[in-house]
Amino acid sequence: MSSSRVLSNFIWRLLERFGAQGVTFIVSLVLARLLGPEVYGTVAIVLVFIAIFDVFVDSGLGNALIQKKDADDVDFSSVFYFNIAACIVLYLIVFLLAPVFALLYKNDMFVPVLRVMGLELVISGFKNIQFAYVSRHLEFKKFFFATLTGTIIAAPVGIVMALRGYGVWAIVAQNLSNITIDTIILWITVKWRPKKTFSWDKLKGLLSYGWKLLASSLLETVYQKLRQLIIGRRYSTTDLAYYNKGETFPNTAVNNVNSAMNSVLFPVMSENQDNPENIKAITKKAISIGSYVLMPMMAGLAACAEPLVLLMLGEAWLPCVPYLQVFCFVYAFYPFHVANLNAIKAVGRSDIYLKQEIAKKIVGILAIIITMRISVFAIALGLVFTDLIDQVINSFPNGKLINYAYKEQLEDLAGPFFLSVMMGGIVYLINFVPISSFLQLIIQIPLGIALYVALSKLYRLDIFKYLISSVRMLLKRQ
């Protein structure tokens, strides 16, 4: 597969993520101002439960379809019918358990909200196999138009309902209308349709690979959401809202890049699964590019967190600033994790992937147990410690699998990391200038970009030169 096709699909996926998440992020800021921290805290807990159940929707079978070399219509159709049945069962479980969750968190609103939001699980069943088809055939241009259209149409739904006083239902309606429209357009633009065929033997073969990824994803999701569940139960929905909103800012940027990387890297690496040298080259490039893009974004965001929150959310949301800065540090290293894990999945070692997840979760749960009795901020700080441990665990197998050791990976991270720290430190000093938050941001953002580019040129980073030449090449082909 040509590098230009890989880069082109990465750009389309990146545009789709930034476009959709950008619109969603703007709408969330508007809704945050209209609805306040308490309402957002209630919805945050509901979304945690939905996210956990949503892991079962794919069952790891989407990745199995992408990884399988000779996947055909029988494979895709079998997984499609299995997924639909599984999603209906999952929704019934959510419907029946809603009163239990409401009792646990002492909030009667959980029952209707969870039951309505749970419909997202059934809709996802129709969407996920189409997405697997798009990923396998690298047709992310189609996914770009589907996702962006759904997000844009759903945006005014939430805002109008919030303005009319519907409270929590404004967020529910926005989420459901988004995924519904997204799914409909994807079915129109992607030509694959399920055939009237089902093979239990083929499904079992896919499940033998996919169940380990399902278990890994479930562990990861429960682990990631466990902190929010504990904060909502032990502290308050307002505390959870500050924690959640602090994560939202860096998460919006990082998830866009990571989703693009995940979607493109896994199918590309799977095509090269018998060639460790090629997988190493792809992994190395992914870590270098991802870090070069994300680290300065996170450093800059942490540096101008206070004026950004004041301007976009208002003074009532200032307590989320420390959480925002902690999450910026944690998310800055996500390309490192994504690239390493995709390499392990691509060579078919889902057994190693599962063992890694178990090891990381043991460390993470110990950190939660230690910090949960101290404060919400201590819980957030625990993520910094676990992220450093996770780096070692995620990279260790690739020292043997693709001859890409942790030490060599750190060397690839070093340039972007130190330049980002230098840039962030200078940008942070603008916070002490006695001017409005708006003027601070007007100075900080272009200053940060200019400094990072200038430092990249000064220190002659190889990845900077590679990106410039790649962009020039793409422009010439237009």
Residue ranges of domains in the chain: 1-234, 236-478
Residue 426, pLDDT above cutoff 90: yes
**pLDDT band for position 222 (cuts 50, 70, 90):** confident
Q: What per-residue confidence (pLDDT) applies to 256?
A: 62
Q: What per-residue confidence (pLDDT) applies to 260?
A: 59
d(CA 50, CA 93): 11
pLDDT, tens digit (0-9, with 9 covering 90-100), for 286-326: 888 888 888 999 999 999 999 999 888 888 889 999 999 99
- In this prediction, residues 409-420 reach a mean pLDDT of 87
Q: 210: closest CA among 354, 312, 327, 388?
A: 354
- Higher confidence at residue 35 or residue 143? 35
pLDDT, tens digit (0-9, with 9 covering 90-100), for 81-131: 888 888 898 899 989 989 988 888 877 888 898 899 889 888 888 877 777
pLDDT, tens digit (0-9, with 9 covering 90-100), for 122-178: 888 887 777 777 766 666 666 666 677 777 787 788 888 888 888 888 888 888 888
Residue 424, pLDDT above cutoff 90: yes
Instruction: Evaluate whether 336 touches 414 at the Cβ level (below 8 Å).
Output: no
**pLDDT band for position 376 (cuts 50, 70, 90):** very high
Q: Which tokens sit at 342?
A: 């995709």
- Higher confidence at residue 206 or residue 375? 375
- In this prediction, residues 210-226 reach a mean pLDDT of 75
Write the single-letter amino acid at 232: G
d(CA 446, CA 434): 19
d(CA 67, CA 350): 11
SS (H, E, C) the chain: CCHHHHHHHHHHHHHHHHHHHHHHHHHHHHHHHHHHHHHHHHHHHHHHHHHHHHHHHHCCHHHHHHHCCCCCHHHHHHHHHHHHHHHHHHHHHHHHHHHHHHHHCCCCCHHHHHHHHCHHHHHHHHHHHHHHHHHHCCCHHHHHHHHHHHHHHHHHHHHHHHHCCCCHHHHHHHHHHHHHHHHHHHHHHCCCCCCCCCCHHHHHHHHHHHHHHHHHHHHHHHHHHHHHHHHHHHCCHHHHHHHHHHHHHHHHHHHHHHHHHHHHHHHHHHHCCCCHHHHHHHHHHHHHHHHHHHHHHHHHHHHCHHHHHHHHCCHHHHHHHHHHHHHHHHHCCHHHHHHHHHHHHHCCCHHHHHHHHHHHHHHHHHHHHHHCCCCHHHHHHHHHHHHHHHHHHHHCCHHHHCCCCHHHHHHHHHHHHHHHHHHHHHHHHHHHCCCCHHHHHHHHHHHHHHHHHHHHHHCCCHHHHHHHHHHHHHHHHC
Q: Which tokens sit at 307?
A: 């004026």
C-alpha pair distances (Å), 60 with each of 140, 201, 354: 20, 17, 12
C-alpha pair distances (Å), 295 with each of 257, 280, 328, 333, 397: 11, 22, 9, 7, 24
| For the ranges 61-65, 247-251, 254-258, 360-364, the one whose mean pLDDT is highest | 360-364
Q: 63: closest CA among 207, 173, 201, 210?
A: 210
**pLDDT band for position 15 (cuts 50, 70, 90):** low
Q: Which tokens sit at 285?
A: 């490039």
d(CA 13, CA 260): 5
First to last CA, the chain: 20
**pLDDT band for position 59 (cuts 50, 70, 90):** low
How many C-beta atoms surround the C-beta of residue 224 within 10 A? 16
Per the document, the length of the chain is 478
**pLDDT band for position 259 (cuts 50, 70, 90):** low
Q: What per-residue confidence (pLDDT) applies to 324?
A: 94
